Amino acid sequence: MTYYHKHVFFCVNQRKAGEACCNDHNAQAMRDYAKDRISALNLSGKGKIRINNAGCLDRCNEGPVIVIYPEDIWYTYIDEEDIDEIINEHLINGRIVERLRI
């Protein structure tokens, strides 16, 4: 068994001005929102879900991006509603959100 049931990495990288990067799309704020939601749902901690910052995940042109392990599922998102859908569907119910998958 892994330490966390699901491990979610949000790219929050900031590249030089003009280069595509996730942080240009409020990635840090979306990561903070996801972390707060997981905590509020009592889903964080050992054996549960971990929300982490990540440096560049090298998919900048598809960003903003997150990756969820152990499934190795990649998503993009626009807003808090997308993050809520990923939390509710994928993290809680185990269903991939195909419309956001990259």
- Any idea where the domains of the chain sit in the sequence? 6-100
**What tens digit of pLDDT does each residue of 48-60 get?**
999 999 988 888 7
- pTM, rounded to two decimals: 0.93
Fold topology of 6-100: Glutaredoxin (3.40.30)
Which residues are registered as beta bridge partners of 9? Answer: 52, 67
Tokens representing residue 85 in the block: 């859908």
**What tens digit of pLDDT does each residue of 14-31 get?**
877 777 788 888 999 999
* Three-class secondary structure of residue 60 per DSSP: helix
Q: What is the distance between the alpha carbons of residues 40 and 30, in angstroms, rounded to a whole number?
A: 15
Q: What is the distance between the alpha carbons of residues 81 and 102, in angstroms, rounded to a whole number?
A: 17
